[in-house]
């Protein structure tokens, strides 16, 4: 049987869809506290994004504990439970190859706060409000 050919646009859409499915599966596993680790079960963890490689073999999950406490400990606990999470994702995803999971802390909220503080700085506000007549 011949391989199905995808256009670059279709391929990228497929990567995004699979990434989103992996995000939903991980979120469901964490919300239902199916990970048998007290550190993970005790925390409310949001999976904010999953980025897949184009070959769908690797997935990087960006996580953020709600209330922002013990981020490094939570990521370490998730990394220690990666085998279980990969097995569950593979079972529920139904692809030929199960993606290898990596967990990282989502820094986008911290970056957004930093930019917001910069924009609210009086010096920047003065420059933004100035008229260029």
d(CA 29, CA 80): 15
User: For residue 69, what is the DSSP state?
Assistant: -
pLDDT in tens, 40-56: 888 888 899 999 998 88
CA distances from 46 to 29, 52, 110, 132 (A): 11, 18, 15, 44
| pLDDT for the residue numbered 122 | 80
d(CA 74, CA 63): 9
CATH architecture of 8-106: 2-Layer Sandwich (3.30)
Measured over the CA atoms of residue 55, residue 53, residue 7 and residue 22, the dihedral's sign is: positive
pLDDT in tens, 53-91: 988 899 999 998 887 678 889 899 999 999 999 999 999
User: For residue 3, what is the DSSP state?
Assistant: P
Residue 20 has pLDDT above 90, yes or no: yes
Residue 2 has pLDDT above 70, yes or no: no
**Parallel, antiparallel, or unpaired for β 100-105 and 58-65?**
parallel
Per DSSP, what are the bridge partners of residue 52? 59
| pLDDT for the residue numbered 8 | 58
């Amino acid at each position: 049987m011949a391989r199905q050919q995808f256009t670059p646009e279709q391929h990228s859409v497929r990567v995004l869809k699979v990434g989103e499915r992996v995000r939903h599966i991980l979120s469901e596993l964490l919300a239902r506290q199916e990970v048998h680790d007290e550190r993970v079960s005790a925390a409310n963890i949001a999976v904010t994004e999953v980025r897949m490689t184009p070959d769908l073999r690797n997935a990087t999950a960006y996580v953020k504990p709600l209330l922002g406490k013990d981020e490094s400990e939570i990521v370490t606990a998730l990394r220690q439970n990666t085998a279980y999470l990969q097995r569950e994702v593979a079972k529920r995803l139904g692809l030929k190859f199960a993606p290898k999971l990596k967990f990282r802390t989502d820094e986008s909220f911290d970056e957004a706060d930093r930019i917001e503080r910069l924009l609210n700085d009086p010096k920047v506000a003065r420059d933004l409000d100035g008229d260029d007549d």
